[in-house]
Amino acid sequence: MATGTTLSRHVSAEEDWRKDAAGELASLLEPMAFAGKILAREIDQAALAGKLGLAGDQNATGDMQKKLDVISNEIVMDAFEGCSLLAGIASEELSEAVVMSTSEDARYLLCTDPLDGSSNTDVNAPLGTIFGILQRSRMGELSAEEFLQKGSELVCAGYVLYGTSTVLVYTAGSGVHGFTLDRGVGEFMLSHEDIRCPHKGTVYSANVGRHNDWEPGVRKYLDHVTEKDKPSGRPHSLRYTGALVADLHRCLLDGGVYFYPADPGNRNGKLRLLYECAPLACVAEQAGGAASTGRGPLLDVMPEAIHQRTPIAIGSVENVALYERFMAEG
């Protein structure tokens, strides 16, 4: 498909090829794309509109909410208002899942981090929105347990990156495609068709300020990638933005690995499985990359709670495999 194709046209073509979506994929992605457009505008204008800084409350997982956290959650929920296909939403900013539709057509669930990297809001650094769509296991009254599915069950996943441009990346199980927002016409246009993550990269992304608290295997891995060895391309370069979406996007395009292991203060890891790690793991694997807890495939982890946390290593296959090897050796 030619570069310059709109998101809606691309999704329609994918549905024609799949023969099983019956227009549902477009009906689910269009509200997310609309939310991305509105959020891009809000982020651009936040400093001028007094929308930077803390909101004064903690979210469901104990993080202090920024004003844009609250705004972004409202924007995503408003975008899906009236979408009869969506039964409910689980969000980082909501303590419990919220019912969106009781229609007989409401066969899907949305898991989302509406504003990934919100600590970047006040310093004009990259931000993102993460989304994953699951199919309901049954009909009738919605229960929170229906969200507790492995990442391998996701029917669609992706993210919106707000940086030097606004980019929407998604997969529906047949590759990964990226679309850049053309602000002049108000459309996401195909800019990155069939993204393929390089098999190996020389960049790593990690909050190395915590390295003294990491277990021995992770510290040895960090020592390995930062030691000088010209034939193997080491030392690797550190690139860490504080926004998971931005760091993963770099890995998908240029190769490398992002990792956030457990530490004494976050014994199950810091990032959330259902609406951060699993959707991005789905994208990475569809692009030919890999995602791991450090001890096994991340997409195989069965969540036990909506806000469950997990360690993660994600990016190029060889880099993730090497990380797992150091973890295993300890």
Biggest CA pair distance of the chain: 60
Q: What is the CATH number of the domain that holds 150?
A: 3.30.540.10
* pLDDT for 38: 98
Side-chain-facing half-sphere of 291: CA atoms under 13 Å = 25
Catalytic residues: 63, 69, 92-93, 113, 115-116, 276
* pLDDT for 65: 87
Tell me whether residue 54 is in a domain.
Answer: yes
Tell me whether residue 1 is in a domain.
Answer: no
Q: What is the CATH number of the domain that holds 280?
A: 3.40.190.80
- pLDDT tens-digit profile, the chain (330 residues): 556 799 999 998 876 655 555 578 889 999 999 999 999 999 999 999 999 888 877 776 777 789 999 999 999 999 999 899 999 999 999 999 999 999 988 999 999 999 999 999 999 999 999 999 999 988 888 999 999 999 999 999 999 999 999 999 999 998 999 999 999 999 999 999 999 999 999 999 999 999 999 999 999 999 999 999 988 889 999 999 999 999 999 999 999 999 999 999 899 999 999 999 999 999 999 999 999 999 999 999 999 999 999 999 999 999 999 999 999 998
CA distance 160 to 32: 9
pTM value is 0.95
- From 142, 158, 192, give the residue that closes a domain: 192
- Considering the domain architecture, whether residues 157 and 222 belong to the same structural domain is answered as no
- From 192, 224, 239, give the residue that closes a domain: 192
* pLDDT for 3: 60
Write out the H or E segment, with its range, that includes residue 28: helix 24-45
- Considering the domain architecture, whether residues 254 and 133 belong to the same structural domain is answered as no
* pLDDT for 150: 98
CA distance 213 to 5: 47
- Considering the domain architecture, whether residues 273 and 156 belong to the same structural domain is answered as no
- Considering the domain architecture, whether residues 161 and 214 belong to the same structural domain is answered as no
- Considering the domain architecture, whether residues 64 and 88 belong to the same structural domain is answered as yes
Count, residues in the chain: 330
The residue with tokens 């296959």 is 317
- Considering the domain architecture, whether residues 170 and 31 belong to the same structural domain is answered as yes
Write out the H or E segment, with its range, that includes residue 128: strand 127-135
The residue with tokens 């190996």 is 200
CA distance 81 to 106: 12
Is residue 313 within 8 A of residue 294, CB to CB? The reply is yes
Residues 6+ apart with CB under 8 A from 19: none
Buried b / exposed e over 155-178, threshold 16 CB at 10 Å, is bbbbbbbbeeebbbbbbbeeebbb
- From 192, 211, 229, give the residue that closes a domain: 192
Tell me whether residue 309 is in a domain.
Answer: yes
* pLDDT for 23: 72
Tell me whether residue 50 is in a domain.
Answer: yes
Helix axes 244-254, 278-286, angle to 10 degrees: 10
Tell me whether residue 2 is in a domain.
Answer: no
Count of structural domains, the chain: 2
- Considering the domain architecture, whether residues 12 and 135 belong to the same structural domain is answered as yes
Which residue range(s) make up the domain with 150? 7-192
* pLDDT for 58: 72
Helix axes 216-226, 317-329, angle to 10 degrees: 130
Is residue 128 within 8 A of residue 104, CB to CB? The reply is no
* pLDDT for 15: 67
C-alpha torsion sign, points 180, 184, 187, 189: negative
* pLDDT for 20: 55
